[in-house]
Structure 1
Amino acid sequence: MDIVSPQRRSAMMSGIKGCNTRPELAVRRAAHRLGLRFRLYRKDLPGTPDLVFPGRRKVVFVHGCFWHRHAGCKYAYTPKSNLEFWLNKLQNNVKRDLHMRRQLESGGWTVIVIWECETKDEAKLVEILSRQVRNVAG
């Protein structure tokens, strides 16, 4: 049983943004700090990656831990109400992510996933981008 009315839940869910989210903005700031330049949301690429580094043939997806099922993360909980709907929805998200990743990789792109929980620590985020986008050992 949900603790809020269906109308309230609908309003809450409709307020969830698909792009320009707080985690995405954190990744962009970190990339700029490293001197990395990128394109946003290239619709001609499978999955419309959040950040694209064309010269490096690398794409970054900033995944929400809940929506994309970050394994072992406390934010990737399973809702208690409407379980069948949520399990189906979340499993389809994971399948879609895998399909898009395979398409990009077969097209010669390197796919980097940065999880929402990783964006909370700025130093860790800069290290991830430095290591995975710039190929700096660390």
Structure 2
Amino acid sequence: MTGASDPAATDEPPTSTGTSWASSAGVRRNMQANRPRDTAPELAIRRACHSRGLRYRIHTRPVSSLRRQADMTFRKARVAVFIDGCYWHGCPIHFVEPKANASFWKDKIEKNRQRDAETNSELEKHGWIVLRFWEHEDPELCAGTIEQVVRQVTAVTKRCSDAAPDH
């Protein structure tokens, strides 16, 4: 039988220092309950895009060699959409640094921001247009922006292919 002081008795995996990253078991449960995909803001934007007649793929890698998944991809238009959470991506309006484990979270959020910038850069190098929205933004406005970009790129692509001589 394991006691309460036995690390094996808790559901918190130890870090390299032997402690969990969470400041308490309750905090750990809350953080684990955060969904990595299909969040309410993401679903609202997807519904709004779908109602506008846009069709897309969800949670796919725009570039197979890049280990990053976009929330929505429009392959023909080469548009990748990301809906960023205010906490996890450090929204300049809503992000509040936590008081517990402040240095851990500061580093974590900064690494997320750097990875976002790297993702944007890599996708753009491969010819993709990257659209990023914060979870607090109006889903209809986001869908309007997405629709405008996708339809504009698709129209330009169609005109270019129509103008190309047949061989």
Take 1:45 and 1:128, find their aligned partners in 2: how far apart are those partners?
A: 28
Higher-helix-fraction structure: 1
2:38 is the alignment partner of 1:20: yes
Task: State the secondary structure of the residue aligned to 2:136.
Answer: helix
Q: Which residue of 1 aligns with 2:13?
A: none
- CA deviation profile, 1:104-132 (whole Å, cap 9, x unmatched): 000000000011011xx344233332333
Say how many residue pairs are matched. Answer: 128
Identity %: 35
131, 134, 137: which is aligned to 2:151?
134
- CA deviation profile, 1:64-106 (whole Å, cap 9, x unmatched): 01111122x12x1111221100100000000111111111000
1:52–1:59 CA contact under 8 A, matched in 2: yes
Take 1:69 and 1:61, find their aligned partners in 2: how far apart are those partners?
A: 14
Question: 1:29-68, aligned counterparts within 5 Å?
Answer: 29-43=47-61, 44=64, 46=66, 47-68=68-89
Take 2:129 and 2:79, find their aligned partners in 1: how far apart are those partners?
A: 5
Residues 135/70 of structure 1: CA separation in 2 closer, same or farther (3 Å cut): farther
Task: State the secondary structure of the residue aligned to 1:67.
Answer: coil
1:45–1:104 CA contact under 8 A, matched in 2: no
Counterpart code for 1:98: A
Which stretches in structure 1 are left out of the alignment for 5+ residues? none
Take 2:144 and 2:74, find their aligned partners in 1: how far apart are those partners?
A: 17
Bigger relative contact order, structure 1 or 2 (CA pairs below 8 A, ≥6 apart): 1
Take 1:103 and 1:122, find their aligned partners in 2: how far apart are those partners?
A: 26
2:82–2:133 CA contact under 8 A, matched in 1: yes
Residues 106/78 of structure 1: CA separation in 2 closer, same or farther (3 Å cut): same
Question: 1:105-124, aligned counterparts within 5 Å?
Answer: 105-118=124-137, 121-124=138-141
Q: Computing the radius of gyration over CA atoms, which structure comes out larger, 1 or 2?
A: 2
Task: State the secondary structure of the residue aligned to 1:68.
Answer: coil
- State the TM-score, normalized to the length of structure 1: 0.84
- State the TM-score, normalized to the length of structure 2: 0.71
81, 88, 91: which is aligned to 1:70?
91
- CA deviation profile, 1:5-44 (whole Å, cap 9, x unmatched): 7111111111011011111101110110111100111132
